[in-house]
Amino acid sequence: MKHKSTLKRVLHYIAGYRLYLAASLLLAVLTVALTLYAPVLTGDAIDYMIGEGRVDFGALGRLLVQLGVVIGATSLFQWLMNLCNNHMTYKVVMDVRTEAFDHMQDLPLSYIDSHPQGDIVSRLVADIDQFSDGLLMGFTQLFTGVMTILGTLFFMLSVNVGITLVVVCVTPVSFLVASFIARSTHKMFLLQSETRGELTSLIDEMVGNQKVVRAFGYEDEAVSRFGEINQRLENHSLRAIFISSITNPSTRFVNSLVYAGVGVSGALSAIRGGLTVGQLSIFLSYANQYTKPFNEISGVVTELQNALACAARVFDFIDQEPMTPDAEAGPIIEKAKGQVDLEDVAFSYTKDRELIRDLNLHVEPGQRVAIVGPTGCGKSTLINLLMRFYDVDSGSIAVDGCDIRQLSRKNLREQYGMVLQETWLKSATVRENIAYGKPDATDEEIIAAAKAAHAHSFIRRLPEGYDTVLSEDGGSLSQGQKQLLCITRVMLCLPPMLILDEATSSIDTRTELKIQNAFAKMMEGRTSFIVAHRLSTIKEADRILVMRDGCIVEQGTHESLLAKNGFYAELYNSQWAV
């Protein structure tokens, strides 16, 4: 059932290019017609050579000219047909890949967080490539194959009905073979595709974390996991290929039956005078041309099964439930004042494990709010909720009195500048990475932001300065340098509210002091949320929220919280314990 629905969706994409489809079908008809007409000319040529000294050279010359024109026209039409098929195939594949990538932007982060990145990459790259190859083969060979079978039957019927019936009687064997292969290969190719995605995910994980793998001596375990998945991929691939490899010998056997049947019946008919030698040669040529498409179609069926299995995985990705759409005609905040209110907020990543509950918070514009607490207490989760990477399960979060669910996500996130502990840089120049959130920034603005973030000096030392092209995720830059670039990116935009999630965790102490001064200047008049493990970095915060098990258990200034001698004091003193 799923197989049929996948095919229906593929046809829906193809329908958008029906003109190319119609042109391809027309050109396939012309190509096949001319291909089948060539043996007629060859047969007539044989009949003009009756015996020694009895050859009609004039007629043969005219036939050779006709044959040359037919072959030339066939080649031209076939070339044009391939152009149409290529255009149609890659347009369809482009549409599918574009829809899949666009849909990824609409997926909730819960889906991205809960699925291996390698599997998602495999669906958007490898599976779509496999789908492309199968679809192109289908267009190129399926049309001409079907047309050849129908055309050959028509031409053979016009010459001799009896011998044609011999051919038709053997035909069901080919259909039985193709049907068996189609049913058997789809499941195997689907398993192959899923296991390939699993293997891609593991490789992506191991390559991206190779330092950790080696530091903890995980190499043998990684090889073992790779070997187990690779073995399963081999098994699924071998079974799929074994079943599909039955195609060639089976169809060749059917071809031999057809050819033998035509040869024997045609020879007997020629002896009785029912056929000329030229007509017999036509039939033998048609017998080859008639059976050849069954070989191709069986191969196409195998490839199409693989293509549809891959397409099913891509469509499954596209069909994932998107995040809750933005409210229509909701309010727009041009520049937030910075008042933030959380009322009775409850949230959990999974239903069976409660994380944040009954969270209430009021933040005045321009306040610097630090969030501290042990690992897993909900600090980063609170940031995810403020940015609306996740929606609250109950309660509400408001900015300047507007429930953030009424704002568009784009409008909400434009109000925040965010620096995370995990850095991200794209493959581009330093300048382009800094201007990621403000592409129209001038060189003067970029340099000023870099100086404010204390990144200008190390950027100048790079081979091409601001024009140095960085490889994926920063390449040879140190973690601290990458984080400085991420800080510079926020310095350039200077939005009305800031989120700093362990923003200086990878920076040396001396540079951190300079960055803290830059942050202090940047945070003036801006509502700021600062997540920090090193409590010494948030002493100047206007308000410190102490979280524990998803709740705010204490709040106040650094001095007042120390004076309480509660949980915050315990956390602070533990960092200085000997």
Q: Rank 45-59, 195-209, 255-269 by mean pLDDT and report only the highest.
A: 195-209
SS3 percent helix, strand, coil of the chain, rounded to 5, is: 65, 10, 20
Residues of the chain above pLDDT 70, percent: 88
Contact 474, 482 (CB under 8 A): yes
Q: What end-to-end distance do the CA atoms of the chain give, in Å?
A: 67
- Residue 574 confidence (pLDDT): 78
**479/387: higher pLDDT:** 387
**544/423: higher pLDDT:** 544
* Element holding 556 (H helix, E strand): strand 551-556
Residues of the chain above pLDDT 90, percent: 4
Check whether 578 has a pLDDT greater than 50: no
Residues 523-542: tens digit of each pLDDT: 788 888 888 766 666 777 88
Q: How does DSSP assign 438-461, residue by residue?
A: -TT--HHHHHHHHHHTT-HHHHHT
| Residue appearing with tokens 């027309």 | 26
- pLDDT (mean) for 161-188: 69
Check whether 437 has a pLDDT greater than 50: yes
Alpha helices in 334-390 (DSSP H): 379-386
Torsion of CA 51, 52, 56, 62, to 10 degrees: 90
Alpha-carbon distance of 182 to 352, in angstroms, equals: 43
* Backbone torsion region of residue 441, taken as left when φ is above 0, otherwise alpha when ψ lies between -120 and 50, otherwise beta: beta
Alpha helices in 361-508 (DSSP H): 379-386, 409-414, 430-434, 443-452, 456-460, 479-493
Q: Choose the CATH number for 158-320 among 1.10.1200.10, 1.10.10.10, 3.90.1200.10, 1.20.1560.10.
A: 1.20.1560.10
CATH 1.20.1560.10, the chain: domain bounds: 158-320
Residue whose C-alpha is closest to residue 110's, from 320, 291, 266, 287:
320
Alpha-carbon distance of 270 to 276, in angstroms, equals: 6
- For the full predicted model, state whether its pTM sits above 0.75: no
SS3 97: helix
* Element holding 372 (H helix, E strand): strand 368-372
CA angle 297, 317, 11 (to 5 degrees): 35
* Element holding 83 (H helix, E strand): helix 57-106
Q: Choose the CATH number for 340-574 among 3.40.640.10, 3.40.50.300, 3.40.1830.10, 3.90.700.10.
A: 3.40.50.300
Check whether 76 has a pLDDT greater than 90: yes
Check whether 184 has a pLDDT greater than 70: no
Across the chain, mean pLDDT equals: 80
Alpha-carbon distance of 451 to 5, in angstroms, equals: 57
**124/2: higher pLDDT:** 124
- Residue 473 confidence (pLDDT): 66
CATH 3.40.50.300, the chain: domain bounds: 340-574
Residues 472-481: tens digit of each pLDDT: 666 678 777 8
Contact 107, 323 (CB under 8 A): yes
Q: Classify residue 62 as exposed, middle or buried by CB count within 10 Å of its CB (0-12, 13-18, 19+).
A: middle
**531/511: higher pLDDT:** 531
* Element holding 552 (H helix, E strand): strand 551-556
- Residue 158 confidence (pLDDT): 75
- Residue 299 confidence (pLDDT): 65
Strand order, beta sheet including 394-399: 356-363, 340-347, 394-399, 402-403
Alpha-carbon distance of 9 to 568, in angstroms, equals: 58
What backbone torsions phi and psi does residue 359 show, to the nearest 5 degrees? -90, 125
Check whether 509 has a pLDDT greater than 90: no
- pLDDT (mean) for 10-35: 86
SS3 382: helix
Contact 290, 39 (CB under 8 A): no
Confidence of residue 576 (pLDDT cuts 50, 70, 90): low
Contact 285, 277 (CB under 8 A): no
Residues 295-315: tens digit of each pLDDT: 666 667 777 777 888 888 888
